[in-house]
Amino acid sequence: MDLVEVEGLADLLAAETEMQRRLASEQANGKLSAVYDEWREKLIFARSMLEAELDFSDEGDIPGSVSEVIWKDVAVLKSQIDEAIANLKAGEIIRDGFKVALAGPPNAGKSSLMNALAQRDVAIVTPIAGTTRDIVRCELDIEGYKVEIFDTAGLRDTEDPVEQEGIKRAYRTINQADLVLQLVDLSDGKADTQEVVPGAVRIGTKLDLAELREQTDSVPFSFGVSSVTGHGLGTLRHHLVDAVKRSTNLGSLAIPSRLRHAERLQAASSYLNDALTERMKPLELRAEDLRLASSELARVTGRIDTETLLGKIFSEFCVGK
């Protein structure tokens, strides 16, 4: 097993949801390694063309400028690596969870909604405004996806230093979340003047209070829920699933899901970019860029050594026979 397969096996043992299991299986079974190996073979071939021209140009079997045929393939390889890097966020969401922050003023129903979604008492619920000070987190398995719900402190102006710290942490969580649900308390006559959190989905809460239903038309929100009766919770779950699927819209799960992979792929892409764009550089230096790129790819799964490169050259040309 190579390093990627070992990492996949570790993720498979730790998987808690179906999508985590499927993502880890792609790695543990070698499907992601096969993608990296295919890129490695393409890069070995490109390097062999350059090295053949540089080191064996006096051989009759090697025509001049043989290296020119490889640059188009190198450009395609770079685009494939860049596409994989772009998929890292989707891989992280499947592996680590889709982060949902519950935001809103005190007593908007954030803790009650978390408890209703989790179907257990995760957060403390009281009529006292500002009960939640620190971040409360729970994990849900929704249709095979890991979803992390974060209950945050109520957003308001306060002189309490402890609550101020909680609000500061709330904003930090909101900024880092994949989805923000801004809860609007429909029992609050000033709900329609509540400050809008940019990019958040507004959810009306406390629909179980019948006397307030006449007021809901004046408050802008996507849909309403009741943590007491369960009204709207199914709609909210469907909304969460749709949001996760939009963030992980992939044709294959053979994608990087670790920052280590992305860092090595980004470095390889950078070296390939140098080799492709700096056409005035001597061929030796462009070949060095490809060598550095191959070294970065090798650090993901394996090692490309000199014997492998020479073997490729000898298989393509009548050299050394």
The H-or-E segment that residue 2 falls in is none
Query: According to the CATH classification, is domain 95-247 in 3.40.50.300?
Result: yes
The phi and psi torsions of 305 (rounded to 5 degrees) equal -105, 175
Closest-CA residue to 67 (of 81, 79, 52): 52
Which fold would CATH assign to domain 41-87+253-316? Answer: Four Helix Bundle (Hemerythrin (Met), subunit A) (1.20.120)
Q: Is the dihedral of CA 129, 131, 134, 139 positive or negative?
A: negative
Question: Which of the residues in the chain have pLDDT under 50?
Answer: 60, 62-63, 210, 306-307, 309-310, 312-313, 316-317, 321
Q: Could you give the CA distance from residue 40 to residue 260 in angstroms, rounded to a whole number? A: 17
Give the model's pLDDT for residue 313.
43
| Cβ atoms within 10 Å, residue 194 | 19
Give the model's pLDDT for residue 93.
92
Give the model's pLDDT for residue 242.
93
| Cβ atoms within 10 Å, residue 127 | 6
Q: Which amino acid is at 35?
A: V
**3-state DSSP percent of the chain in helix, strand and coil, to 5:** 55, 10, 35
Q: Do 9 and 28 meet the contact criterion of CB atoms below 8 Å apart? A: yes
List where CATH 3.40.50.300 sits in the chain.
Answer: 95-247
Give the model's pLDDT for residue 121.
86
Give the model's pLDDT for residue 175.
93
| Cβ atoms within 10 Å, residue 276 | 17
Longest dimension (CA), the chain: 93
List where CATH 1.20.120.430 sits in the chain.
Answer: 41-87+253-316
Give the model's pLDDT for residue 217.
52
Q: Do 240 and 223 meet the contact criterion of CB atoms below 8 Å apart? A: no
Q: Could you give the CA distance from residue 44 to residue 40 in angstroms, rounded to a whole number? A: 6
Q: In Å, how far from its chain's centre is CA 51? A: 38
